[in-house]
């Protein structure tokens, strides 16, 4: 809660300035907790009469990690692996859809739960490896750059598909991470989740239960705040 209050205050300052000086800009937010901060800022944008879809949560790091881990297991180049990661950007809300990538789909079913957990806990693993003296800064920068490149490509007229956390109606939750298409003006299409296998379908319910509480934190914040 303290992390949310502090970071939501910082994010609000940036969002407020953008609303005033560049309301058409795409705001790619990397500030934790993404699951709560993005809904809070998007709702504040909406209150101001602006497009909440301009507020985009960066979840690319989860995709990068899933691709890397699948590459390690299969001996394949992660540049040719593209595992969609849906849900949110923290703990159990992170759901890699290994069944939707042809390389990842070759991994034995009994290895998937541990691989799923590996993607969920990767951030914590890095913090522990650094003895609490830092986090996953380099991989986060890479992931942010990858999403930034997709946004810029879209703005210049070359559509790109990436996973991102945004206002969404693909589930019964108001915010969700899934594949989106970036085009001129930012997100031009939110794509459906596609076919999930039995394991992923079960995990989706767990994701939604946890994510709902984190979204609600953001919505509650937005109710009591306004952009100047």
Which residues are marked as active site?
Answer: 89
The whole-angstrom separation of Cα 42 and Cα 35 is 12
Q: Where are the alpha helices (DSSP H) in the chain?
A: 2-21, 34-47, 60-74, 112-129, 137-155, 198-223
Can you give the C-alpha Rg of the chain in angstroms? 17
Burial class of 8 by CB neighbour count within 10 A (0 to 12, 13 to 18, 19+): buried
Residues with Cβ within 8 Å of residue 108, at least 6 apart in sequence:
none
Burial class of 157 by CB neighbour count within 10 A (0 to 12, 13 to 18, 19+): exposed
Residues with Cβ within 8 Å of residue 99, at least 6 apart in sequence:
105, 195, 196, 197, 200
Q: Which residues pair with 87 in a beta bridge?
A: 94, 177
């Amino acid at each position: 809660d303290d992390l949310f209050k502090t970071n939501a205050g910082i994010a609000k300052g940036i969002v407020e300035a953008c609303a005033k000086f560049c309301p058409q800009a795409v705001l790619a937010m990397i500030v934790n907790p993404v699951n709560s901060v993005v809904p809070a800022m998007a709702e504040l944008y909406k209150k101001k009469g602006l497009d909440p879809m301009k507020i985009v949560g960066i979840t690319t790091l989860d995709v990068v990690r899933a691709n890397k881990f699948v590459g390690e297991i299969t001996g394949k180049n992660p540049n040719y692996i593209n595992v969609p990661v849906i849900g949110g950007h923290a703990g159990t809300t992170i759901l890699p859809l290994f069944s939707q990538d042809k390389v990842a789909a070759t991994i034995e079913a009994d290895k998937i739960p541990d691989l799923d957990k590996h993607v969920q806990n990767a951030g914590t693993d890095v913090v522990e490896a650094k003895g609490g003296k830092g986090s996953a800064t380099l991989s986060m920068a890479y992931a942010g750059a990858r999403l930034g490149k997709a946004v810029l490509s879209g703005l210049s007229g070359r559509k790109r598909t990436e996973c991102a956390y945004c206002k969404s109606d693909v589930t019964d939750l108001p915010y969700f991470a899934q594949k989106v298409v970036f085009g001129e003006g930012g997100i031009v299409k939110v794509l459906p989740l596609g076919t999930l296998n039995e394991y992923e379908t079960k995990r989706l319910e767990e994701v939604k239960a946890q994510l709902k509480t984190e979204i609600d934190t953001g919505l509650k914040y937005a109710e009591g705040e306004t952009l100047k």
